[in-house]
Each structure stands twice: as structure tokens, then as C-alpha cells.
Amino acid sequence: YAAMLNKRLVTAVNEAHLVMTNQKGLNYEDYRCPRCSKRMMLVISQQKMPFFKHLNKIHNMMGEKEEHHHSKMMLKSALTAAGFNAQVEIPLADGQIRADVLASPKLAFEVQCAPLSTEEFNHRHALYQQVGITDIWIVGQRHYLKDKIKTTQLIFMRENQSWRQYFLEIDPTQDQFRLKFNILQEPVTRKLHYQIASFDLDDLGIQKFWNFKPNFNVYHVNPNLQREYLQTQIKQKSKLGLEIAKKLYQKHLSLESLPNAPFEKWRKPGDIDSVSQYLD
């Protein structure tokens, strides 16, 4: 129920009072544990007394609502420090949508921690376009990009010349957000290859992110392993295997007769596999 702030002990009750009376923002301060000096956050609940919690425990303990709220507040704080007039939970499009963090009249950040359907995403994205605001989507731990692509992650994928295919993640437990860029999917498998850059959730991190110009790695793929994977899919009669087998049969071809080229061609995440592209 207490933490160190600027070398003095403060109580959660007093800090919560200052927040609730708009004398300070929630978790803008650098609270530290009196025992171990690690970073803490102030938690305000309607059902219990205010208290402090170690940030490194939030990852396992916090629910999606708490993760979402804390991520929004940290992102707002970082954008404000970087010179943006950032605001949270701003209604737009006649109240049809609320921007998680409105950085400027033309720029909004959506922090997505809960599940989201393609239909709901398209609806919200269209509303942003309707009011002339660019929406940047940054995801919580549920949607973190790993080594294989999930269909539910494709809606958050973006592309530009500076980063090619990219994906944004926020991690409030580490006071950071991540850019995963130069994302490519192997010719046949669901496996992804990408590079990662991490930025602190502060003014310098925002500035570095905004001006980030990376060097791109060149990825290499073994065509024999891709061919073996597809052979297994055909034997197991998976959806992919059945589709490829049908196309091979229609064209009087065998898997062994195909050249290496389609097994070496990288693709954007979610695109049709390179062998199907070749056969089509």
C-alpha cells in the first residue's frame, strides 16, 4: 500500500486521491518498491482499497482489461512527452467509435488486447477512414506474433516502404513497444521470418520509432524442406495437401516434377502458398 516516489514514501490511498481529483494522471509517476526498488504501478479498484503492484508480475496476473488500460495510459504518457496532445477514450464518428489514444486530430492508436473479429475490425477501421483519421493498431500479449502466422493476426499486419510488412506490439510489463518488420512467410509452411526493434514507452522511444530506418536481412529457405512439408500435407490429406494434390492431378503433374523455384519464393503473410501460385 506504499511506494517510493522521488525518494519519499507515498501511500496508494493518497496517490489514488490525487488521480481521482485530476491532480495527476494515472501511473505517470515512477513508483518504486521500497524493498527492491523495482518499478510499480498504482491500481485503483471500485471494490477494494488502492494498492501498488510490481510491474513484472502484471504479465501473468493482469486480465485483458487491466492490460488494455495500463497500455493506453503508458502510450498516452509517451506520446504526450514526445509533444503530441494525446487524449484517451475520445468519441468519434458521432459516438460510433472511441479512440483508445487520439494522438492528434488526424492520428489515433488502437490498443487491442481482447479477441477481435475481421468484421468488427473492418467496421472500426472504416469509421476511422470516414472521419479522416489514420488508425495505428498495436496489440497486447494475446495477439503477439510468434513463429507461425495465425489468421486472426492478419488484420493487424501493415506495410510501408520503410519497414515492408510490419506488426506492432505493446508490453506494459517492460515499458516497451515492439516493431516486428520485414515479415515474410515461407513458400509453403505457416512459418514466419522477421526482424525486431524495441522502443521504450517514453519521448525518446517515440522519436526513435518515428524515424526508424532499418537495414533489411536477407532470408534463406531450403526448398527440399518445403517440398517435404508439402509431401507430408498431401499424405495427411490436410486442406492444403488436398488442394495441391487436386491441382497436380488436373495438370498431370507430380510433386517431384515441379522445379525448385516455387519452393524458394517467399510470400507476404497470409498470401496463397507459392506452389499454388505457380500451378495457377
CB 131 within 8 Å of CB 92 = yes
Check whether 174 has a pLDDT greater than 60: yes
**SS3 state at 146:** coil
Check whether 262 has a pLDDT greater than 70: yes
CA–CA–CA angle 3, 5, 11 (5° rounding): 40
Check whether 60 has a pLDDT greater than 70: no
How do strand 134-139 and strand 107-112 relate by DSSP bridges? parallel
**How many angstroms separate the first and last alpha carbons of the chain?**
65
Query: 31 is written with which cell numbers?
Result: 513508483
State mean pLDDT over 160-165.
96
pLDDT band at 58 (very low <50, low <70, confident <90, very high): very low
CB 190 within 8 Å of CB 149 = yes
How does pLDDT run across 63-83, given as a tens digit for each residue? 568 889 889 988 998 898 888
How does pLDDT run across 97-156, given as a tens digit for each residue? 999 999 999 999 999 999 999 999 999 999 999 999 999 999 999 999 999 999 999 999
Query: 152 is written with which cell numbers?
Result: 486472426
How does pLDDT run across 207-251, given as a tens digit for each residue? 999 999 999 999 999 999 999 999 999 999 999 999 999 999 999
Whole-angstrom distance, CA of residue 233 vs CA of residue 244:
9
Question: What local confidence, expressed as pLDDT, does residue 235 receive?
Answer: 95
Q: Phi and psi for 29 in degrees, rounded to 5?
A: -85, 160
How does pLDDT run across 20-56, given as a tens digit for each residue? 888 887 777 889 999 888 888 887 765 678 888 876 5
